Structure 1
Amino acid sequence: MKLLKQWPLLSVAISASLLSGCFDSTSDKPVSQASTTEATQDRIKLAMLLPPRSGLTPLSDDAFKLSRWSTAETLVILDQAGNLAPALATKWEQISPTEWRFELRPNVQFHDHSPFNAKAVVNSLQVAAKATPKPRILDGMNLTIKADGEHAVIVTSSKPDPLLAQRLTSPQLSILSPNAYQANGVINPITAGTGPFVLTAVNGTSSATLNRFNDYWGEKAQASGIDVNFVPDGIARAAALRTDNADIVEAIPVSQAPLLDPSLVHEVPMPRTNTLYLNTRYGVMKDPAVRAAVREAINREQIVNNVYEKRADIAQGLLGPALPWAAKLRQPVEHTVAPADPKGITITLATFTDRTELPEVAVYLAQQLNKAGFTVKQDVREYSQIESDALAGKFDAFILSRATVLDSGDPVAYMYSDFSCKGSFNIAQLCQPEIDQALQVAGSLPAGLERQKAIMAAENLILASDAAIPMLHERVIQGESKRVVGAIRDPRERTLIDSHTYIKNVK
């Protein structure tokens, strides 16, 4: 077997009150705290940053919620070292340059009690492979999947892919019950996964309910369930932790961390880079000299110190300290175009409110660019309202907090998605044949030093284009109440609660 790898929307007082009603619930409807103290004693109350964007379909970023709740599972997963580990598949092998065989775990059933078998796996993976658009982990990939008897599948790529098994660790390739896939193309994940928690209800973009799945193939969950509340406002999330209305809180804003009990705040360096994307196809940023002027105007240290209160790392490249090999292999970037004199050029700088720090980053960037001679207009909205415009190239500059190894544990997929001519998340509208070629070389190599060197060569070309200007590498700041035990601090943001996470009595 081969192993491969501050824009508050509500007052704190009002938010805390609302959260109390939403979290203390063992049913689909909010009920009063007093009536449910005993009933919810061993349920985990979770405050999440982003609401579902696509109805929790596994083919979107919503898949990572299903993964973090331990309700949907993949054939294989990545361990802490980034190596492949078994999940719904127990064994795997590469049987030809384009074919991989996965042996399926026995005695697994879906939450709707339908059988887990090769037919179900083929169905899930074929839907993903044929989707339009495809999950980003499959950008540039053509896969076929077929059953090999009742308890194995063979996954074939149209071209050799040394990291095909790593791709299958992406939560966007979770295996769901055949009943989840509806005739109209909608995928409904309710009671459709295989994990220790079963998703029983979703209340739009406000909340979700999960209960322990007693027929889970592995260790049964210690907690009886999870009550999820989606809280885009960072101040409200911090208030939920401070007032014991949440046991686990995603993405505590750096401005709120000093206001909390230090024992409740946990920092983890993560593969997430705060990057300024410049539009290389439309508008004034088509000119490399103008992009160079933007690069020279940015003061990263000021942003890290003032916005992130030094709870971030100044970026030297796209890949940060969560990938320690990157800094060792990085070569100096050769910028061949001299910066232009902006002479009052007007540009539109955009970002979104869902990550609390980004609007403040936009304020500092606007000041820095104005000082350099640009005239800056800002466009700041919720992510769901601005994503399509960003992907359509309607802004000169866009600030994005971007995970760099979210899907496969390897940054090639992220680089291809964001910087190749056919990338599905190419906000910079970048298309340079030499970059595509460098990414193809990196993607063709097996995991190891040579692949890492090729990745850094591609990064060097991307940085030289000034299409993306990395500013800082974020650290995840996760809040955990004194009641919670075993919350997972995952730099990849794939896992958060598992079978071993539970609530203890604190007097």
Structure 2
Amino acid sequence: MKFKPTLLAVALALACGVSAAKTLRVANQGDAQSMDPHSLNESMQLSFTGNVYEPLVARDKTLGLTPGLATSWKQTSPTVWRFELRRNVSFHDGTPFTADDVVFSFKRAAGDGSDMRGYTNSIKEVRKLDAHTVEIETTSPFPILPDVITLVYMMSKKWCEENKAETPVDRRKGIENAASFRANGTGPFRLRERQPNQRTVLVRNGNYWGKVDGNVTEVVFTPIGNDATRVAALLSGEVDVMEPVPLQDVDRIKANPALKVMQGPELRTIFLGMDQRRDELQFSNVKGKNPFKDVRVRRAFYQAIDIETIKTRVMRGAATPTALMVAPGIKGFTPDLNKRPAYDPEGARKLLAEAGYPNGFEVGMNCPNDRYVNDGAICQAVAANLARIGVKVNLQTETKGTYFPKILRRDTSFYLLGWTPGTYDSHNPLSALMATPNDKGQGQFNLGWYSNARVDELTQLVQAETDPAKRNAMIAEAFKIHQDEVGHIPLHQQALAWAMKANIDVVQLADNFMPFKYITVK
């Protein structure tokens, strides 16, 4: 929808109580892949669309739970949660928000093509009690359900039906619909312009139901993949905020009095995954079998990675090596298990020989080059490490726009991925990354198909357990099994680095989400 700028500025000024519209120009190394909030479970995507769409239960500035489109919630039985919906809320097209939209949105998020099924796979039914009350029944007791649904955004049933967008955009198949390029949420910003991979413009929703702490009335978002170009845009004043800051440029930007850098720990873990399901490895010179089915091969890869050199040279110290798939700060983090095997190329060679590969082998590796901090360089370092033990890595780095559809189809043998548990609880990576994949959404991002029956059992037990000590013991047991079997190879937690003009105040969250409603331009 197009607006006349003069009328828009007047409307925004009146609605927002500001004397003039404040435009914020934001640059990121990659673009949001779609405006469909159910199409890709990626934090950058969900961060951006979370300015337009909203969940029932939201997160505040400390990542604590806060009312969103539900004003309250309670358990009425061990498997039933009742949510009272916020009244007098409208979608951007003026359609009232009701329980029908909630039932529809959860069904859509759980349907074919959705990338959010990992957040809905424990839900048995969502039912409407009246126009402003819904119940969510789970398959078993699920005490952390409110934490789990904070990234399930509500869509308008009427709008989706009218625009033939009843099902999500399927990134695996390249299927698009109206929700790819248009949006109709309840959030503080509405979509005005969408040019994929070039420019996306949001404007303040003058009829927003909630409080907006910042004064931004227009956001111009531009993906700039080249690090030097992105920094140059900030230095020249073409953009106001950018992330991530290339590690080699942090000190230079800090030294500029007109700019500032915000750094902090991130809850994301960067890790490697391996195809452990196919009987013959898809992208390899090994025929008739799959080396990754042998734990000795997986352990050899782990021991061959010089994580300290990756930390110091590739990440310039802005990384914390880890042996776990979760970061400190995630509920269930187990410090006693956070011990990596020693870097041991000779030991790795011996393990490969024992497994029947004394001369190593070839394997394809997939890696994004515009999603995580220095992701392409990390993969190059891993490939160089593995070359020392006789493994030739045929590395393919590419933009996340083509990378994610490929690996989400499991069309990969060896890959790099990052994961921030959207629930800030260890059950999330257990269910999404480590549990055996099924057709309900469990293991949806277990792309190498690691499988252990006891881990599956523990995942279900952790979901229902309310005693913290028992629950943490179950999490630790599952993590230990996964660690011993080298289900994945964790690398590190990367550090956040955002840069901005000195007159801009932002709230930096450890999940790397950037809510524009918290930003102030002075």
User: TM class, shorter-chain normalised?
Assistant: 0.7 to 0.9
1:61 equivalenced with 2:53 (yes/no): no
Report the Cα distance in structure 2 between the residues aligned to 1:115 and 1:203, rounded to whole angstroms: 28
Per-residue deviation at 1:43? 0.6
1:501 equivalenced with 2:519 (yes/no): yes
Per-residue deviation at 1:308? 0.6
Per-residue deviation at 1:78? 3.0
1:118 equivalenced with 2:88 (yes/no): no
SS where residue 257 of structure 1 aligns? Answer: helix
Per-residue deviation at 1:325? 5.9
Sequence identity (%): 22
Per-residue deviation at 1:94? 0.7
Aligned to 1:280, which of 276, 282, 288? 276
Report the Cα distance in structure 1 between the residues aligned to 2:115 and 2:139, rounded to whole angstroms: 15
Change (3 A) 1:303 1:294: same
Residue 44 of structure 1 corresponds to which residue in structure 2?
Answer: 24
1:488 equivalenced with 2:507 (yes/no): yes
Per-residue deviation at 1:425? 1.5
Residue 438 of structure 1 corresponds to which residue in structure 2?
Answer: 458
Residues 247 and 483 in structure 1, CA contact (< 8 A), matched pair in contact too: no
Equivalent runs, 1:176-255 vs 2, <5 Å: 176=156, 178-181=158-161, 182-183=163-164, 185=166, 186=177, 188=179, 190=182, 192-220=184-212, 222-255=215-248
Aligned to 1:358, which of 368, 375, 400? 375
Per-residue deviation at 1:71? 1.9
Residues 58 and 174 in structure 1, CA contact (< 8 A), matched pair in contact too: no
Report the Cα distance in structure 1 between the residues aligned to 2:72 and 2:304, rounded to whole angstroms: 52
Residues 56 and 150 in structure 2, CA contact (< 8 A), matched pair in contact too: yes
Residues 333 and 463 in structure 1, CA contact (< 8 A), matched pair in contact too: no
Report the Cα distance in structure 2 between the residues aligned to 1:134 and 1:360, rounded to whole angstroms: 27
Change (3 A) 1:67 1:397: closer
Residue 71 of structure 2 corresponds to which residue in structure 1?
Answer: 90
Please, which runs of 5 or more residues in structure 1 have no aligned partner? 1-24, 28-38
Residues 163 and 447 in structure 1, CA contact (< 8 A), matched pair in contact too: no
Residues 45 and 247 in structure 1, CA contact (< 8 A), matched pair in contact too: yes
Report the Cα distance in structure 1 between the residues aligned to 2:265 and 2:205, rounded to whole angstroms: 32
Aligned to 1:106, which of 87, 100, 120? 87
Per-residue deviation at 1:340? 2.5
Residues 331 and 426 in structure 2, CA contact (< 8 A), matched pair in contact too: no
Change (3 A) 1:40 1:397: farther
Residue 416 of structure 1 corresponds to which residue in structure 2?
Answer: 431
Change (3 A) 1:291 1:100: same
Equivalent runs, 1:301-320 vs 2, <5 Å: 301-320=308-327
The amino acid that maps onto 1:117 is T
Residue 8 of structure 1 corresponds to which residue in structure 2?
Answer: none
Report the Cα distance in structure 2 between the residues aligned to 1:26 and 1:296, rounded to whole angstroms: 59
- Range moving further from structure 2, 153-162 or 317-326: 317-326
Residue 490 of structure 2 corresponds to which residue in structure 1?
Answer: 470
Report the Cα distance in structure 2 between the residues aligned to 1:447 and 1:247, rounded to whole angstroms: 47
Per-residue deviation at 1:332? 6.5
Per-residue deviation at 1:129? 2.8
SS where residue 116 of structure 1 aligns? Answer: coil
Residue 360 of structure 2 corresponds to which residue in structure 1?
Answer: 344
Residues 234 and 500 in structure 2, CA contact (< 8 A), matched pair in contact too: yes
Change (3 A) 1:447 1:261: farther
Per-residue deviation at 1:319? 1.6
Report the Cα distance in structure 2 between the residues aligned to 1:184 and 1:174, rounded to whole angstroms: 13
Report the Cα distance in structure 1 between the residues aligned to 2:205 and 2:395, rounded to whole angstroms: 47
Change (3 A) 1:82 1:227: closer
Residues 331 and 424 in structure 2, CA contact (< 8 A), matched pair in contact too: no
SS where residue 479 of structure 1 aligns? Answer: strand
Report the Cα distance in structure 1 between the residues aligned to 2:112 and 2:232, rounded to whole angstroms: 40
Report the Cα distance in structure 2 between the residues aligned to 1:353 and 1:462, rounded to whole angstroms: 28
Report the Cα distance in structure 2 between the residues aligned to 1:174 and 1:67, rounded to whole angstroms: 14
Residue 394 of structure 2 corresponds to which residue in structure 1?
Answer: 377
Change (3 A) 1:215 1:420: same
Report the Cα distance in structure 2 between the residues aligned to 1:144 and 1:248, rounded to whole angstroms: 42
Please, which runs of 5 or more residues in structure 2 have no aligned partner? 7-18, 167-176, 282-289, 343-347, 438-442
Residue 284 of structure 2 corresponds to which residue in structure 1?
Answer: none
Per-residue deviation at 1:392? 4.7
Residue 20 of structure 1 corresponds to which residue in structure 2?
Answer: none
SS where residue 427 of structure 1 aligns? Answer: coil
Residue 428 of structure 1 corresponds to which residue in structure 2?
Answer: 448
Q: Deviations over 1:73-95 (max 9, x none)?
A: 11112345554211111110011
Per-residue deviation at 1:104? 1.2
Residue 34 of structure 1 corresponds to which residue in structure 2?
Answer: none
- Range moving further from structure 2, 268-277 or 140-149: 140-149
The amino acid that maps onto 2:330 is L
Change (3 A) 1:264 1:300: same
Residue 5 of structure 1 corresponds to which residue in structure 2?
Answer: none
Residues 21 and 217 in structure 2, CA contact (< 8 A), matched pair in contact too: no
Report the Cα distance in structure 2 between the residues aligned to 1:393 and 1:194, rounded to whole angstroms: 34
Superposition TM-score, scaled by structure 1 size? 0.83
Q: Deviations over 1:393-422 (max 9, x none)?
A: 55442122x1231x2222322332222211
Q: Deviations over 1:126-151 (max 9, x none)?
A: 22233444514336334322222222
Per-residue deviation at 1:191? 5.2
Residues 421 and 436 in structure 1, CA contact (< 8 A), matched pair in contact too: yes
Residues 278 and 398 in structure 1, CA contact (< 8 A), matched pair in contact too: yes
Residues 352 and 360 in structure 2, CA contact (< 8 A), matched pair in contact too: no
Residues 139 and 413 in structure 1, CA contact (< 8 A), matched pair in contact too: no
The amino acid that maps onto 1:212 is R
1:460 equivalenced with 2:480 (yes/no): yes
Q: Deviations over 1:338-392 (max 9, x none)?
A: 8223423222232111135122112211221111232222222222323344345
